[in-house]
C-alpha cells in the first residue's frame, strides 16, 4: 500500500484517513522517564578524555544527536553533506590516521546505500569506525524509504562487524563508552531525542558481547534486543496479572551473540522461548538464537516476534506497532495465544 507520510488508516484498512505525525514518535509510555540525546552527551564525555575522537555525519547531525558533539567539539566535527558513501570513505581515511571515528546517518542509508563502501573501506581492514544510525527497524512512519527493517540481517553477514542494539538511554550511554574503547568496526542502532530510561531500576550495566537477565520467570523467556526489551518488560508486568510468569533476557550485542548465557537461560525446562526484535523475522536476532539453540540440541517451544518479510505501511507509529505486533498489547496477545494453543 502506497500512502503519503502524513496519513494513516484506522484499524479498518477501508476506514477514513487520519492526519498524524509519521516521522518520529516518542517510544516512551505515559509517565516513563526519559533522557535527552543520550548518545550525543555520552560521546562528549568520551571526547573530553580522548582527543582522538572524531564525529562525522551526512547532513543528519540534528537527527542523530551528533549536534551535541558538534557544539562542544566543532574542530572535531565534520559535516559531509548528503553523501553517505563519502561519509564512510572519509571515516575510513580518518581511522587510518589514528582517529576513532563516530559516523552517523539513518540506518537505511548506511545499510543500503553505503554497504559496499563499509564492507571494502572499513570492515575488510577492521578499522576503528563506529557507524551509529537512527531510525532502525520500525521507528518511523515514513514507509520503506526510511524504515530499516533489514539492517541487522545486512550487517550480521559482514565479517569483522560488531552489532549493538541498545534498549534505552542508559544502554545507549554505556554502549557508547564501550564501543569507543573497543578497537574495530561497530554498527550501533540509535534511539534519538527524548529516549526512554527503563533499565536503571534493574541494576543494569552494559558489557560488550554480554546478554543480561533482567527478570526471571517460569513460564516464558523473552529473548529481546533494542526497544523490544522495553516492550518485553512491560508485557511481563502485564502478563503477571494474568498469572503468566515471564523472564526477560536482554541481548544488546546482536553480533557476537552471547551463546553461553543464551543456552543457560533457554535450557531451563518448561518455559517457552520468545525472541522479540524490532527487525524483520529474516536474518536478525531470532534466526541467530534459533541457530544457536538447534546447534546445541536445546529445543524449547520457540516463537518469534518480529516484523514481516514485507515492505511496511506508512502512518502513525503507534498504529504501525499495533499492526505489526511490536506494541505491548500485541506482544501480550501473541504470548497468551501461543500459551493457549
Average pLDDT of 133-142? 96
**Which among 196, 224, 259 is the end of a domain?**
196
pLDDT of residue 10: 34
CATH of the domain at 335: 3.40.50.920
The answer as to whether 138 is a domain residue is yes
In sequence order, what DSSP letters do the residues of 198-267 get, joined into one string? -GGGGT----TT--EEEE--SSEEEEE-THHHHHHHHHHHHHHHTT--EEEEE--EEES--HHHHHHHHT
Please determine, for residue 109, whether its predicted confidence score (pLDDT) is greater than 50: yes
Active site residue 71: no
Scan for cell 542508559, then name that residue. Answer: 170
Average pLDDT of 206-232? 98
Q: Please, are residues 153 and 279 in contact by the beta-carbon 8 Å criterion?
A: yes
Scan for cell 546517518, then name that residue. Answer: 105
Average pLDDT of 164-171? 98
Q: How much of the chain, in percent, has pLDDT values that exceed 90?
A: 90
**Best CA proximity match to 171, nearest among 229, 122, 92:** 229
Instruction: Provide the pLDDT confidence category of residue 31 given band limits of 50, 70 and 90.
Output: confident
**Are residues 178 and 215 both part of a single domain?**
no
Helices (H), the chain: 38-49, 67-72, 84-96, 107-108, 115-117, 151-156, 169-181, 227-241, 259-266, 285-296, 317-323, 328-340
**Are residues 142 and 178 both part of a single domain?**
yes
Between residues 61 and 20, the one the model is more confident about = 61
The answer as to whether 99 is a domain residue is yes
State the residue range of the domain holding 152: 34-196
Average pLDDT of 147-175? 98
What is residue 64's DSSP assignment?
A: G
**Are residues 285 and 255 both part of a single domain?**
yes
**Are residues 171 and 222 both part of a single domain?**
no
pLDDT of residue 24: 56
The answer as to whether 16 is a domain residue is no
pTM here?
A: 0.93
**Are residues 52 and 152 both part of a single domain?**
yes
61: number of Cβ within 10 Å: 21
Please determine, for residue 91, whether its predicted confidence score (pLDDT) is greater than 90: yes
Distance of CA 95 to the CA centre of its chain: 25
**Are residues 271 and 312 both part of a single domain?**
yes
**Are residues 65 and 171 both part of a single domain?**
yes
Instruction: Provide the pLDDT confidence category of residue 22 given band limits of 50, 70 and 90.
Output: low
The answer as to whether 10 is a domain residue is no
**Best CA proximity match to 42, nearest among 166, 162, 228:** 166
Please determine, for residue 238, whether its predicted confidence score (pLDDT) is greater than 70: yes
Please determine, for residue 301, whether its predicted confidence score (pLDDT) is greater than 90: yes
The answer as to whether 56 is a domain residue is yes
Please determine, for residue 26, whether its predicted confidence score (pLDDT) is greater than 90: no
CATH of the domain at 45: 3.40.50.970
Structurally, how many domains does the chain consist of?
Answer: 2
The answer as to whether 183 is a domain residue is yes
Whole-angstrom Cα distance, residue 59 to residue 71?
15
The answer as to whether 292 is a domain residue is yes
**Are residues 168 and 219 both part of a single domain?**
no
Identify the active-site residue in 84, 150, 173, 287: 84
β-bridge mates for residue 224, sequence order: 250, 276
β-bridge mates for residue 77, sequence order: 55
Please determine, for residue 256, whether its predicted confidence score (pLDDT) is greater than 90: yes
Please determine, for residue 4, whether its predicted confidence score (pLDDT) is greater than 60: no
Cβ neighbors of 229 (< 8 A, separation 6 or more) are 167, 168, 199, 214, 222, 248, 250, 276
Q: What rounded mean pLDDT belongs to the chain?
A: 93
Cβ neighbors of 59 (< 8 A, separation 6 or more) are 79, 80, 81, 82
Amino acid at each position: 500500500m502506497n500512502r503519503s507520510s502524513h496519513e494513516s488508516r484506522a484499524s479498518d484498512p477501508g476506514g477514513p484517513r487520519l492526519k498524524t505525525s509519521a516521522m518520529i514518535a516518542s517510544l516512551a509510555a505515559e509517565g516513563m522517564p526519559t533522557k535527552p540525546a543520550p548518545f550525543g552527551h555520552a560521546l562528549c564525555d568520551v571526547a573530553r578524555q580522548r582527543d582522538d575522537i572524531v564525529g562525522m555525519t551526512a547532513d543528519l547531525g540534528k537527527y542523530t544527536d551528533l549536534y551535541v558533539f558538534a557544539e562542544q567539539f566543532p574542530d572535531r566535527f565534520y559535516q559531509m553533506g548528503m553523501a553517505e558513501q563519502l561519509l564512510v570513505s572519509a571515516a575510513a581515511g580518518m581511522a587510518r590516521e589514528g582517529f576513532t571515528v563516530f559516523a552517523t546517518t539513518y540506518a537505511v542509508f548506511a545499510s543500503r546505500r553505503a554497504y559496499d563502501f563499509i564492507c571494502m573501506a572499513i570492515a575488510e581492514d577492521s578499522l576503528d569506525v563506529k557507524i551509529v544510525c537512527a531510525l532502525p527497524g520500525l521507528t518511523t512512519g515514513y514507509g520503506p524509504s526510511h524504515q530499516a527493517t533489514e539492517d541487522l540481517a545486512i550487517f550480521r553477514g559482514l565479517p569483522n562487524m560488531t552489532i549493538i542494539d541498545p534498549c534505552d538511554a542508559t544502554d545507549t550511554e554505556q554502549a557508547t563508552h564501550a564501543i569507543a574503547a573497543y578497537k574495530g568496526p561497530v554498527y550501533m542502532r540509535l534511539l534519538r531525542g527524548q529516549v526512554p530510561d527503563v533499565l536503571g531500576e534493574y541494576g543494569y550495566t552494559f558489557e560488550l558481547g554480554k546478554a543480561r537477565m533482567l527478570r526471571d520467570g517460569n513460564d516464558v523467556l523473552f529473548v529481546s534486543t533494542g526497544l523490544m526489551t522495553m516492550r518485553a518488560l512491560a508485557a511481563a508486568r502485564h502478563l503477571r496479572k494474568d498469572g503468566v510468569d515471564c523472564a526477560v533476557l536482554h541481548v544488546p550485542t546482536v553480533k557476537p551473540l552471547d551463546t553461553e548465557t543464551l543456552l543457560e537461560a533457554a535450557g531451563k525446562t518448561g518455559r517457552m522461548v520468545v525472541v522479540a526484535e524490532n527487525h524483520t523475522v529474516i536474518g536478525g536476532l531470532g534466526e541467530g538464537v534459533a541457530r544457536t539453540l538447534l546447534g546445541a540440541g536445546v529445543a524449547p517451544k520457540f516463537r518469534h516476534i518480529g516484523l514481516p518479510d514485507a515492505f511496511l505501511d506508512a502512518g502513525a507509529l503507534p498504529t504501525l506497532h499495533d499492526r505489526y505486533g511490536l506494541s505491548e498489547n500485541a506482544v501480550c496477545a501473541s504470548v497468551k495465544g501461543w500459551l493457549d494453543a
